């Protein structure tokens, strides 16, 4: 079984499973590949190069819409983004709320530059939901200029003052918020409570027994994270080569929220799918039955 993963905190179960030998509990030879970005992992999954993808729920929608024979078997994380902005914009947002975007453009002569991952990604989808549904401020393209900024590049881009703000996950959110002149202005858990970030997307080439064993170890890892977050942060630091202090601070963030039960993210996934369809990445709203196979988790739980 070949597992593909993206190096973000949202895939915390992977770090725990790797560091503690949980993959050894599977009746299969397990190999893993680290992908620098979600799109690279999705391309590999579509090509049949990996059997398990630990990546965003919206890429899983794209693959499902393209007819890839696979399902989301477990959730990995939820509520996983922070909206971080310059102090100037943050002050405006505190005072003006939804009007801050248009007033900033009126005063500056240009829209705020909101750097985030590509259209249809999970951070892009949450940004659109925040602006268009939660704030009811208008269409995203009318409110912000939105260059593509991969999560790992967000701290560097902010440090260069090339963006007004970003929607980003841990540990990068903690890094950006720690840059002088930036601070958090919103948390995605307030915008769409319980929304998914990453999931375990598993090919139906994998046998039913191996699916069950994988989900069982995934649940074991999730419980370990909840029981001892500090030790899980140590696992993450080892895999991601992070400073121990940063790993602990990122784990303490509200955006570090881990779970396994796919039922808990089903309704929110459907809501998010309409925005993924709006940018043309899937053909229309996706039902939970199209995206998930709940039976494996239900059998394990």
How far apart are alpha carbons 197 and 15 in whole angstroms? 16
Three-class secondary structure of residue 183 per DSSP: strand
Q: What are phi and psi of 292, to 5 degrees?
A: -110, 150
Q: What's 259's DSSP letter? A: -
Q: Which domains does the chain have, with CATH numbers?
A: 2-78+196-300 (3.40.190.10), 82-191 (3.40.190.10)
Q: What percent of the chain has pLDDT over 70?
A: 100
**Which pLDDT value is given to residue 25?**
87
pTM of the shown model: 0.94
Q: Per residue in 124-141, pLDDT tens?
A: 999 999 999 999 999 999
**Which pLDDT value is given to residue 21?**
97
Q: Is the pLDDT of residue 145 over 90?
A: yes
Say how many CA atoms lie within 13 Å of 184 toward its Cβ.
Answer: 18
**Which pLDDT value is given to residue 118?**
87
Q: Per residue in 23-72, pLDDT tens?
A: 998 999 999 999 988 888 889 999 999 999 999 999 999 999 999 999 99
How far apart are alpha carbons 115 and 152 in whole angstroms? 12
Q: Per residue in 252-299, pLDDT tens?
A: 999 999 999 999 999 999 999 999 999 999 999 999 999 999 999 999
In 3D, which of 153, 154, 126 has the Cα closest to residue 140? 126
Q: Per residue in 86-120, pLDDT tens?
A: 999 999 999 999 999 999 999 999 999 999 998 88
């Amino acid at each position: 079984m070949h597992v593909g993963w993206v190096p973000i905190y949202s895939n915390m179960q992977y770090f725990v499973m790797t560091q503690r030998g949980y993959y050894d509990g599977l009746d299969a030879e397990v190999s893993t590949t680290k992908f620098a970005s979600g799109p690279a992992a999705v391309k590999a999954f579509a090509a049949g190069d990996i059997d398990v993808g630990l990546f965003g729920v919206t890429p899983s929608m794209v693959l499902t819409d393209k007819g890839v024979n696979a399902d989301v078997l477990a959730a990995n994380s939820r509520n996983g983004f922070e909206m971080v902005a310059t102090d100037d914009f943050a002050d405006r947002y505190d005072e003006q709320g939804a009007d801050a975007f248009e007033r900033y453009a009126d005063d500056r002569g240009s829209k705020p530059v909101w750097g985030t991952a590509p259209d249809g990604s999970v951070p892009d989808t949450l940004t659109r939901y925040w602006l268009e549904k939660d704030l009811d401020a208008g269409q995203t393209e009318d409110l912000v200029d939105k260059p593509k900024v991969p999560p790992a590049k967000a701290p560097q881009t902010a440090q260069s003052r090339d963006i007004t703000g970003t929607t980003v996950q841990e540990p990068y959110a903690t890094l950006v918020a720690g840059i002088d002149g930036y601070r958090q202005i919103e948390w995605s858990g307030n915008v769409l409570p319980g929304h998914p970030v990453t999931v375990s997307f598993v090919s139906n080439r994998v046998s039913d027994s191996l699916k069950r064993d994988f989900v069982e170890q995934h649940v074991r890892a999730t419980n370990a994270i909840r029981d001892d977050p500090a030790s899980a942060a140590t696992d993450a630091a080892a895999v991601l080569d992070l400073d121990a202090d940063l790993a602990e601070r990122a784990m303490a963030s509200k955006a570090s929220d881990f779970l396994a039960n796919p039922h808990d993210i089903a309704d929110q996934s459907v809501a998010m799918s309409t925005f993924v369809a709006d940018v043309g990445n899937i053909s229309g709203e996706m039902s939970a039955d199209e995206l998930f196979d709940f039976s494996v988790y239900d059998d394990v739980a």
